[in-house]
């Protein structure tokens, strides 16, 4: 407590300088948070495809909205297996995958169960919700009508909710993966179902290839046909592009992070060194009445901690304002707590170690009696 008391005294003595320092440091921290969460978001997306990268196959999407029965595909039919289907309804999107696929793809479930653990039912179609925010909850039953047959309605029961909101999105040609964060506010609920069950409940619509599909094939000619006809990317390509995306995000932010951290840490070093020199008289007085050098070192460390803690709080506030501010670049940067709980103490520690090194060395080299003679005679 006594050290903190003196640390606050030193902090308050140069309030304005400390405030400038804190702004600098929190800017550095904030951009660092953003970088890390961008890394995390992109990495998590890429990892969805990591398990699939060994499979021969990929995502195929056509340039045409309705292409069922197209002759090009007819020609190569039999050379590939379609293992997915998607149904985009007015209120919800339903993605269906073959059982086979589920042995590769098994998202983390937050509530309820994953599809392979649920019994088949004649009354409803079991589905896993990719995120829990749509006013939908576990065990809710929703009724939808098929896009193809409006008279037919299907009951869908939510048996599980994913812990992350990532899903394999068959509608996006780009990466094939999406985080619902991208369309956070106005996106529709996305449900994952078993294709066999979907065929049973919704009907033969689900047997056909849809606009985008997961396709299994090891025939190179078929793949090149698919590439010519529409858009095809192998699971491995998708995984690699995900990793590339992740790395390029980090590379984009890294120079800013390094620059800002360098600027703010040198500022901190300068100021703590100055604080140590300026407060030498005070420190000598404290030592004269019995404080040890370690007490003085603790005061300096606490002084730095005060700046760091205030800066981090500021950084967290700014960060939350930024990610809620509709800046497109920052949309997927929401996973703050999980990753920063590890990174923040690390940055803290490094900053304190770096910053306190010079002033503590200065203090260490000073003989108490020399300070007293210099300052008080």
Partner 1 sequence: MIKITNLTKTYYSDNKKGFKALNSVDIEIHSGEMLAITGVSGSGKSTLLHILACLDKAYEGSVTLDNKELSKLSDFKLAAIRNNDVSIVLQDFMLIDDYSVFDNVMFPLLLHKMNRKERNKRVYEALEQVDMVANIKQSANTLSGGEKQRVAIARAIVTKPRYLFADEPTGSLDTKNTEAVMQILEKLNETGITVVIVSHEKDVADRCKRKIEMLDGRIIN
- Interface residue list for partner 1 (CB under 8 A): 2, 9, 13, 282, 284-294, 367-369, 372, 376-377
Task: Report yes or no: 213 and 59 within 8 Å, Cβ to Cβ.
Answer: yes
Enclosing H/E stretch for 348: helix 336-365
For residues 171 and 285, which CB has a smaller minimum distance to partner 1 in the complex?
285
Q: Which alpha helices (H) appear in 51-185, and where do they start and end?
A: 71-76, 99-102
Helix or strand or coil: residue 60?
A: strand
Say if CB 165 and CB 181 are below 8 A apart.
yes
Q: Computed from CA positions of residues 270, 275, 277, 278, in that sequence, does the dihedral angle turn out positive or negative?
A: positive
Sign for the pseudo-dihedral over CA of 183, 189, 192, 196: negative
- The minimum distance between CB 17 and partner 1, in angstroms, equals 16
Phi, psi of 14 (to 5 degrees): -125, 60
Q: What element of type H or E holds 202? A: helix 195-202
Largest CA-CA distance found in the chain, in angstroms, rounded? 100
CB of 269 vs partner 1, minimal distance in Å = 25
């Amino acid at each position: 407590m006594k050290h903190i008391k003196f640390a606050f005294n030193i902090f308050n003595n140069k309030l304005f300088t400390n405030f400038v320092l804190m702004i600098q440091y929190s800017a550095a921290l904030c951009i660092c948070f953003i970088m890390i969460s961008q890394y995390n978001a992109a990495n998590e997306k890429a990892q969805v495809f990591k398990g699939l990268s060994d499979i021969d196959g990929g995502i195929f999407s056509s340039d045409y909205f309705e292409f069922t029965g197209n002759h090009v595909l007819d020609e190569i039919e039999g050379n590939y297996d379609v293992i997915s289907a998607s149904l985009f309804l007015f209120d919800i999107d339903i993605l269906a995958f073959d059982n086979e696929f589920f042995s590769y793809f098994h998202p983390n479930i937050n509530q309820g169960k994953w599809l392979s653990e649920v019994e088949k039912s004649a009354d409803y179609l079991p589905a896993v919700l990719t995120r829990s925010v749509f006013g939908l909850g576990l065990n809710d039953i929703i009724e939808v009508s098929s896009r193809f047959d409006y008279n037919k309605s299907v009951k869908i029961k939510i048996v599980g909710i994913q812990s992350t909101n990532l899903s394999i999105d068959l509608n996006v040609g780009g990466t094939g993966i999406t985080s619902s964060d991208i369309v956070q506010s106005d996106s529709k609920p996305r449900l994952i179902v078993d294709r066999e069950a979907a065929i049973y409940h919704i009907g033969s619509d689900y047997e056909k290839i849809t606009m985008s599909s997961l396709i299994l094939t090891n025939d190179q000619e078929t793949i090149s046909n698919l590439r010519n006809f529409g858009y095809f990317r192998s699971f491995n390509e998708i995984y690699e592009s995900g990793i590339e995306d992740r790395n390029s995000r980090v590379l984009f932010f890294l120079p800013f992070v390094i620059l800002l951290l360098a600027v703010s840490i040198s500022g901190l070093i300068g100021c703590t060194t100055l604080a140590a020199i300026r407060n030498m008289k005070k420190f000598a007085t404290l030592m004269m009445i019995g404080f040890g050098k370690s007490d003085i070192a603790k005061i300096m460390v606490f002084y730095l901690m005060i700046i760091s803690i205030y800066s981090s709080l500021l950084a967290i506030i700014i960060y939350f304002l930024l990610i809620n501010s509709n800046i497109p670049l920052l949309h997927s940067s929401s996973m703050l707590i999980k990753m920063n709980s590890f990174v923040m103490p690390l940055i803290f520690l490094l900053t304190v170690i770096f910053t306190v090194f010079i002033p503590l060395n200065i203090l260490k080299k000073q003989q108490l009696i020399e300070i007293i003679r210099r300052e008080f005679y």
